[in-house]
Amino acid sequence: MELQEYMRKVGDMTEDEKIDLREWTVAGNSVYDNPYFYSDDHGAPMDFINAIRMDNDLRLQHEERLKKRNVTKVVIACITTIRKAEEICLKKAIDELIRSGTIDVSDCSADLLDGFADLLAGVYDDRT
């Protein structure tokens, strides 16, 4: 009797919710209790359907947060890889410009040459 009245009161339920509710009540539990120990705003046990819906929502939110974290990790890894590739290309280009004489190192300041040297040292380090 309690189950039928509760189902009418709740209204629309998915088939999975109906099955879970029946299994819950067949096991001797009340429709006005839940397996998650969730409580309402007044501290009373939350009814079964609202509790499983809340639990599903919380699970989905958690999965979304995990997906966002994973996407963030992938994006950071891609950016890092791109930056490394760009740095290697830049170092190789500067090295080629100096070797071809396009950049006349005699016209460059000491700071600029030190920067080129640091970049070029990285190229040679990468090659070994």
Q: Is the pTM of this model over 0.85?
A: no
- Report d(CA 93, CA 66) in Å as an integer: 40
pLDDT of residue 56: 92
CB 103 within 8 Å of CB 117: no
Task: For residue 117, give its domain range.
Answer: 2-127
- Report d(CA 57, CA 36) in Å as an integer: 13
pLDDT tens string, the chain, 128 residues long: the values are 788 999 999 999 999 999 999 999 999 999 999 999 999 999 999 999 999 999 999 999 998 888 888 888 888 888 888 878 877 777 777 777 777 877 666 666 666 666 666 666 665 555 44
The tokens describing 113, both together, are 């040459």
pLDDT of residue 91: 75
- Report d(CA 48, CA 31) in Å as an integer: 5
Q: Exposed, middle or buried: residue 12 (CB in 10 Å: 0-12, 13-18, 19+)?
A: exposed
For the chain, the farthest-separated pair of C-alpha atoms sits apart, in whole angstroms, at: 96
The tokens describing 58, both together, are 């919380």
pLDDT of residue 49: 96
CB 123 within 8 Å of CB 95: yes
The tokens describing 114, both together, are 């030190």
Q: Which residue has the tokens 């009245």?
A: 5
CB atoms within 10 A of CB 102: 10
pLDDT of residue 5: 93
Q: Look at the chain and report how many structural domains it folds into.
A: 1
pLDDT of residue 128: 46
